[in-house]
Amino acid sequence: MTPPPPASGASVATAAPATASTAAATAAATPAAATPAAATPAPAPKSDADARSAGSGPKPIIDGQRGWGAQIAVYAFAVIPLIALIVAIPFAWGWGLGWVDVVLAIVFYYLSGMGVTVGFHRYFTHGSYKAKAPMRKFLAIAGQLAVQGPVIIWVADHRRHHAFSDREGDPHSPWTYGTSIPALARGFWHAHMGWLFNRDNTNQQRFAPDLLADKSIVRIDKYFWVWTLVSLIAPGVLGGLITWSWHGALTAFFWAGLVRVAVLHHITWSVNSICHMIGERPFAARDKSANFWPLAILSFGESWHNLHHADPTCARHGVLRGQLDTSARAIWIFEKFGWVYNVRWPSAQRLARIQATAGEMGH
């Protein structure tokens, strides 16, 4: 059951508009047609061609390339947990998995996963709500525990994805190479994981200037490597202390550290790949985003992806009956405690306006 709109009336129709800096930063990420009806929309950004003809072009999409050290780190973060996941099946066949490992894996999966969905995605990227300073810092740290990159890079890449979704410029569209079966197979790999190995850096000055101007977020971003170590080592330390054994430390490090990171990686990447290829499209979006219900629980509601692309700043993605969205429930709880506010909940009027026509719906 998805969380109801709050009694205070903090809905899309009544939420306070984003600040000027946030609106400017997210203008490229939120298509004008998908801006919530009563939220004050930022001026539609000019196309690159229009801006050039006017004599003042926008900042470039790409800002140099990763250094080799950063590139090697990307390979390590993507491949090592994957190897652990592959090894996990025979490793667990009679040895190496206990209840302590399972509980720690679930706790860290939820903490880091919600850090990405509630923090990196719905808050930092799209401004679906406002957060008080301690919560803002907590969300940035929790998201970095997912080992999906520093917060500013993650946000810049995702805003770029929305600015060019399923078109040239999208960093991870599965439709990049065409619509034939071989092209889609190649596109699936590219959208799911291959794009990570492209050394081009998304221009943070263009896509995340608001975060670059926030000293506390820049500081957290700088120490991504520290939070990566914490995310991998803390489960092992806790497992060792709980079981009072080196064996418990090793198995907790493996299951709640490496395997948990790998599973979360592939769930997140599946939203990029699967949810732009197959599924239902009940809402009108300017791309091929779709809802894929089998991923709803593990993705914390992120796989209700069609609504998200139809209305990017909406705090709840699973808006239809039966669509479980645990990220929205967490935001609702945070709002009740007063930790977040001005939440952009969906309204019946807004949902009616973005309903897809028969020709736009499909699988």
Of residues 352 and 18, more confidently modeled = 352
- 142 falls in which pLDDT band (50, 70, 90)? very high
- 82 falls in which pLDDT band (50, 70, 90)? low
Residue 4, pLDDT above cutoff 50: no
Residue 171, pLDDT above cutoff 90: yes
Rounded to the nearest 10 degrees, the angle between the axes of helix 181-192 and helix 260-273 is 140
Rounded to the nearest 10 degrees, the angle between the axes of helix 260-273 and helix 224-243 is 130
Chain segment 212-245, per-residue pLDDT in tens: 999 999 999 999 999 999 999 999 999 999 999 9
- 198 falls in which pLDDT band (50, 70, 90)? confident
Pick from 91-95, 199-203, 322-326 the range whose average pLDDT is largest: 322-326
Of residues 141 and 32, more confidently modeled = 141
Token digits of residue 338 = 């007063």
pLDDT at 94: 60
If you average pLDDT over every residue of the chain, what do you get? 83
Residue 63, pLDDT above cutoff 50: yes
277 close to 174: Cβ distance less than 8 angstroms: yes
Residue 12, pLDDT above cutoff 70: no
Q: What are phi and psi of 213, to 5 degrees?
A: -85, -5
Token digits of residue 189 = 């790999």
Rounded to the nearest 10 degrees, the angle between the axes of helix 99-114 and helix 260-273 is 40
Residue 359, pLDDT above cutoff 90: no
Q: How far is CA 226 from CA 172, 233, 251, 257, 259, in A?
A: 27, 10, 22, 14, 19
Taking the C-alpha atoms of residue 25 and residue 5, their distance in angstroms, rounded to an integer, is 27
Per-domain residue ranges of the chain: 28-38+64-353
Of residues 15 and 150, more confidently modeled = 150
